[in-house]
Structure 1
Amino acid sequence: MTRAPQWRGLSRRSVLAGALAGGAALALSACGTRQDAVRLATDDRWKQFAGTTINLVSENTAPTEAIAANLRPFTELTGIKVNILMLELTALAQKVALDLAGGESQYHVIYADPYQVLAPYSKGLVDLRELASRPDLPQLPGGWGDFIPTQLDATGRFGDHDKVFAVPYDCPTMIWQYRADLFEKHHDRMADDLGFDPTPSAERTWEEYFRIAKWFNEKTDDVQYGAGHQAKQHDSLMCDFSNVLWSYGGDYFDNGKEIGLYGTTDPGACRLNSDAAIEAAEFYQRLISISDPSSKTWDWNGLAPALQSGRIAMSPNWHEYAAANEQAMPGKFGYAPMPRGPVRSANHFGGTGIGINANTLPNERAAAWLFVLWATSPETQLSNLKSEAGGGTPTRQSVYDMPEVKAAEHRPSAMPNILTAPAVSQAWEADKIGLRPKIPMWNECDTAIYTQLSKMLAGDASPADTMRETAKRIDRITARGWAA
């Protein structure tokens, strides 16, 4: 994962309908002598590679599910056939690594997860600015400026601030999800008891969140617990804790914002041993102690049903669970940016872009670019929003500005994920977005973080010792460096 909203846990289908045949085609294509796609003599820039077949490898994400269910518009537009192979993220990263290292282009279009693909293998991806500037190819709709700026940097760049290796494709973001009906029902009593307006927003503090959770625990039987969290010994624990860490002014390395946006191969010393990080860990330990005890067994997919079934009153989770929330209890949920700590509100961003294999031959590379253009276009993103097979949420500002999308921010909504738009639009602001370090060795660091945090939550280590030991382990990992 890096991070994973509901679609990552629903059915870990390795292959979608039609992709079994696609997988066979992939295997066969790798066996023979490589030949470039044929370029046709035509004035239609979309049709110049008609008859070509390209292969996309992706994690099973909401936009890929929606696109795979409705490829006909692209095929009719271009005459290009697309095989889509969907895998669990670790398996995807392994296949991509082998393909790039072997000098092959079995997969032309790649779901370039920022941490498992982009950071370690950016040299194996095409700088997409070159394709975007070619006059013989269709122009990028809306230009680069139509993408949410922080998303373009976080999902598309590595090292070089100018090069773009991936186009923003999905954008799951952690926000505060809560039972709006219960907050409304108990608003006045909570406000009197707590001494502040309990309405969730970026102005609420984590300490206030803690007190709200405790109030629900003690003052009402509407839910079993006030709050739930994804605190299993798993990547989800790192994701959940990071919101608190950043809000307290802590970070994994110096220049955390810069490393999160642009990445580096040498992040320097880990800063989890700072006073701010230790204070964040102390608060997080307290928070989990009064949250639903099952929190320590939940990742994002365990947490979501707890909220949707009425077991808990609120939780931080990926915003793309909104559609399932609204299906479970129509009209009863609210969405807000994460609470703030002493420094800021921090909302963990988990988006990914799609890129193109640099081993592609010239014509197949251009054909792959046509697919990238179409798959990330405003029209396709709008179609994905409406899709019953997938959904996701757009990465382009122009889609959020469409009148029908703006209207869908209010109930009744045919695009329930867009109910979160007011919250996530704040969450993506430069001072509120939460970005883990984009470094090639992040996976090992991630494992060290959630392993040590899990020991802390089990009572086997103090917050201070946990942060110091985690910093030591991360320093050992980064000291080894990275050779792609």
Structure 2
Amino acid sequence: MTKIRIAVRKFDPFESTLQKLWDLFCIEKNINVEAEMIPLELHDLYEQTITQSGLKKGIWDIAHLNTDWIFDAANEKAVLDLNPLISQNPPQDYPHGWHQSLLHLQQINNGTYGLPFHDGPECLIYRKDLFENPIEKENFKKQYGYELHPPKTWEEFIEIATFFNRSEDNLHGAVFANYPDGHNMVFDFCLQLWTRGGSLLDSKNQIDINHTAAIEALDFYRQIVNNKNAVHPKSKEFGSVEAGMAFAKGEAAMAINWFGFASMCEVIEDSKIKGKVDIAELPHHKNHQTASLNVYWLYTIGAGSKHQQLAYDFLRFATTAESDKLLTKEGGIGCRKSTWNDPEINKTIPFYHKLGMLHQTALTLPQIPIWPKVAELIDQMVLKAIENDVPSSKLLEETQNNILKIIN
């Protein structure tokens, strides 16, 4: 019997959606094929699919890869260029069914190396029931002299997080994801940098993080995540999923996390805050603009897969409007414009239509072969910053020197 192997990003909504989609796919196509779906954490997923050449060797037929990794995967010839298959039999409404910001990162050297699976840029997620409570509003204004509203600046963010921090009630002002997995703290650092007008790249398009905006970004970030009067005490143990779950359980007033964790609060059984959540653009430095980060997940096919046509048929099925909507109902984030504007989805998740707004300010990480190694160095730098008191300027200088070693 034919068996297809799928490397799945470990996350309950992804796992449940994929199983449902595979079962529906087999019924529709009238086939009897077993799918072995292995849920993997971020680090293991990268290791097994790319580092250990699992996709290239055909150990995996299909894999969830995020756009941080797709440049690497394409250059390693680990994933299949889908263009020949797309030209013969394109996915439903391809490419017009998706926002352009979800189609460009997988376009590499004139090839298309994946189809959008799950998305939702970074945003401010907050408890609207707390922010709209008349007593909270009155107390806040007495204390801080201005109206309580989702913070526009980072200074307001600290004040509001401090105001809502009530450890005795297991309510904290904000929750972060500070587990060093090469992702969350890197993203947080980039957001701090961008919302201060800084950049990861110099005028020659080379990575350069040794400058004033980066010092300010790192200074602020290490200060806020160590602020015991404002931040969830378990933030240092949390990845983005755990931070998202803590927020869904009502343990924080605000979070800076992926949009998906806001919508998850409205659909998962464990959520204690259904109907009490909203999202807004990220705070920024008072002299600069907001920004967001767009990293999205793709369905990819292994270059070494012996079942490429079957895998592609499943990808077409898994990216239809109906399948995209199913993913959203399970707690993931559909990527199609039809899902963003779907009346039923917006009834369940009233802020879902705001995805378009987030994409307007969403930036992306540099698509260069060395980025995963650079991300690791930035991750280690931020971890050092929050765990000891070496000056930010020194940490940035050291990290930049290590980046130059990789470049050269």
* TM-score bracket for this pair, using the shorter chain length: 0.7 to 0.9
Q: Equivalent residue for 1:85?
A: 37
Contact kept, 8 Å, 2:341 with 2:353, in 1: the verdict is: no
1:188 deviates by 4.2
Which of 90, 97, 112 does residue 146 from structure 1 map onto?
Answer: 97
Give, in whole Å, the separation in 2 of the partners of 1:346 and 1:212. 20
Which residue is 1:35 aligned to? none
Contact conserved, 1:175 with 1:424, CA < 8 A, in 2?
no
Q: Compared with structure 1, are the counterparts of its residues 99 and 402 closer, same or farther at alpha carbon in structure 2 (3 Å cutoff)?
A: same
Q: TM-score, normalised by structure 2?
A: 0.84
| CA shift for structure 1 position 149 | 1.4
Gaps of 5+ in 2: none
Give the Cα separation in 2 of the matches to 1:439 and 1:288: 29
Corresponding residue number in structure 1 for 2:178? 231
Identity over the aligned pairs, expressed in percent?
23
Partners of 1:128 and 1:144 in 2: CA distance:
13
Aligned to 2:342: 402
Go from structure 1 to structure 2 and tell me whether the alpha carbon gap of 1:76 and 1:279 turns closer, same or farther (over 3 Å shift).
Answer: same
Residue 351 in 1 paired to residue 351 in 2? no
**What is the CA–CA distance in structure 1 between the aligned matches of 2:225 and 2:47, rounded to whole Å?**
34
Query: In the TM superposition, what are the counterparts of 1:36-185 in structure 2 within 5 Å?
Result: 53-61=3-11, 62-80=13-31, 81-86=33-38, 87-97=40-50, 104-122=57-75, 123-134=77-88, 137=89, 139-154=90-105, 156-158=106-108, 160=109, 162-185=110-133
| Equivalent in the alignment of 2:216 | 279
Asked if 1 retains the 8 angstrom alpha-carbon contact of 2:68 and 2:372, the reply is: yes
Asked which structure has the greater CA Rg, the reply is 1
Distance 1:419 1:436, change over 3 A: farther
Tell me the secondary structure at the aligned position of residue 208 of structure 2: coil
Match of 1:313 in 2: 253
The range that moved more, 175-184 or 223-232, is 223-232
Q: Conserved in 2, the CA contact under 8 Å of 1:151 and 1:395? A: yes
CA distance in structure 2 between the partners assigned to 1:277 and 1:311 by the alignment: 30
Kindly state the Cα deviation for residue 245 of structure 1 after the two structures are TM-superposed: 1.5
1:176 counterpart SS class: strand
Distance, in Å, in 1 between the alignment partners of 2:169 and 2:59 is 54
Q: Which amino acid aligns with 2:94?
A: G
1-structure distance, mates of 2:43, 2:236: 23
TM-score by length of 1: 0.72
CA apart distance, 1:169:
0.6
Deviations 1:225-280 (A, max 9, x none): 4223223444322222322122112232248xxxxxxxxxxx95322112211121
Which amino acid in the other structure matches residue 370 of structure 1? Answer: D
1:40 aligns with none
Map Cα deviations across residues 144-193 of structure 1 (whole Å, 9 max, x no partner): 12112112223x223x3x43211111114322122212111222443464
* Aligned residue type for 1:450: D
After superposition, the C-alpha distances for 1:60-111 in whole angstroms (9 at most, x for unaligned) are 2433431213423211222342513323333333333378589643433232
Structure 1 residue runs of 4 or more that deviate by more than 4 Å after TM superposition: 98-103, 220-224
Letter in 2 for 1:107: W
- d(CA) in 2 for partners of 1:372, 1:200: 39
Deviation at 1:284, TM superposition (A): 1.8
Q: After superposition, give the CA deviation of every residue in 1:19-76 in whole Å (9 maximum; x if it has no partner).
A: xxxxxx8xxxxxxxxxxxxxxxxxxxxxxxxxx6543322224334312134232112
Q: CA RMSD in A?
A: 3.0
Relative to structure 1, is the Cα distance of residues 82 and 313 closer, same or farther in structure 2, using a 3 angstrom cutoff? same
